[in-house]
Amino acid sequence: MKRLERALAILGGVLLLALLGAIAAGVGLVRRGLSARAQPTRMEEMMALQMRSMATPARVRDLKNPVQPDAALLAGGRHHFADHCASCHANDGSGATEMGKNLYPKAPDLRAPRTQELTDGEIFAIIQNGIRLSGMPAWGEEHGDDRESWALVSFIRHLPKLSPEEQREMEDLNPRGPGERGEDQDEQEFLQGGDEKAADPAMPGMKH
Ligand code: HEC
């Protein structure tokens, strides 16, 4: 009987502690709110990365990049990154963009060991499947071409050595807002010109 009482007392104590912990977490949440501005704590980041690593099956982690990172492939990866990824990750992979800095968790610096020490398979899986409860979307399509994601893996490996010329070229490929697109369209129409413009002696050589 005495043992049962002791067990019940311990159980009660544990439940009380859990309740107090939950109340403290709740109060903290209410006081701090759910703002995305905060920086995750080191502990939270470590736990999230550990969980992500545990949730990646060994057969995916051990995948080797099947594509050769030659110039053409890297150029493809660079274009794709400038178009789809740079809005959060920045052309240089630093994550220093308005969106990247204000997400929770923030877009990490892809040039740093945290990313570069992932296996090819892990980076590939992240690109294909995204990261739940974060701003990182899934990009793989069910019957899509895996080579595009592998080209991105090669490009991410290349990021620490990105040249200023490559960065400049990427700036032209970054998506534009409607305002800038409108300007571009006007410019294109002007350059292609109507017939009268093409015949305009003031603009020699302007043909279709
Ligand atoms: C809308 C914003 C957004 C876009 C667009 C985006 N990402 Fe991310 N990405 C994130 C965020 C936020 C994280 C960090 C998630 C975390 O810490 O759990 C992340 C994480 C990653 C990681 C893991 C890095 C690490 O060390 O944990 C890789 C690799 C990555 N992104 C690649 C890409 C690629 C390639 C593209 C384009 C095809 C892309 N991302 C597009 C927001 C974005």
Give mean pLDDT, residues 29-44.
88
Check: CB of residue 42 under 8 Å from CB of residue 50. Answer: no
Q: How many CA atoms lie within 13 A of 131 on its CB side?
A: 18
- Using DSSP, state whether 185 is helix, strand or coil: helix
Could you give the CA distance from residue 85 to residue 155 in angstroms, rounded to a whole number?
12
* Residue keyed to tokens 């305009």: 200
**What's the confidence (pLDDT) of residue 199?**
46
Counted residue by residue, the chain has a size of: 208
Rounded alpha-carbon distances, angstroms, from residue 82 to 2, 53, 87: 70, 27, 8
Give mean pLDDT, residues 45-53.
95
Query: Does residue 96 register a pLDDT over 60?
Result: yes
1 Cα–ligand 1 center, Å: 57
Could you give the CA distance from residue 190 to residue 193 in angstroms, rounded to a whole number?
5
Instruction: Report which of 109, 91, 112 is spatially closest to residue 101, judged by C-alpha positions.
Output: 109
**What's the confidence (pLDDT) of residue 198?**
46
Atom in ligand 1 nearest the alpha carbon of residue 123: 29
Atom in ligand 1 nearest the alpha carbon of residue 52: 18
pLDDT band at 173 (very low <50, low <70, confident <90, very high): very high
Instruction: Report which of 122, 128, 118 is spatially closest to residue 61, judged by C-alpha positions.
Output: 122
Choice between 143 and 96, residue whose per-residue pLDDT is larger: 96
Give the domains, in start order, of the chain with CATH numbers: 57-176 (1.10.760.10)
**What's the confidence (pLDDT) of residue 44?**
92
Which residues are near ligand 1 (CB < 6 Å)?
48, 84-85, 87-89, 99, 103, 105, 107-108, 110, 114-115, 123, 126-127, 131, 134-137, 139, 152, 156
166 Cα–ligand 1 center, Å: 20
Q: What residue owns the CA closest to ligand 1's atom 43?
A: 136
pLDDT band at 205 (very low <50, low <70, confident <90, very high): very low
Atom in ligand 1 nearest the alpha carbon of residue 152: 35
Q: What residue owns the CA closest to ligand 1's atom 20?
A: 136
Query: Does residue 201 register a pLDDT over 70?
Result: no
Give mean pLDDT, residues 146-172.
97
Tokens of 27: 């109060």
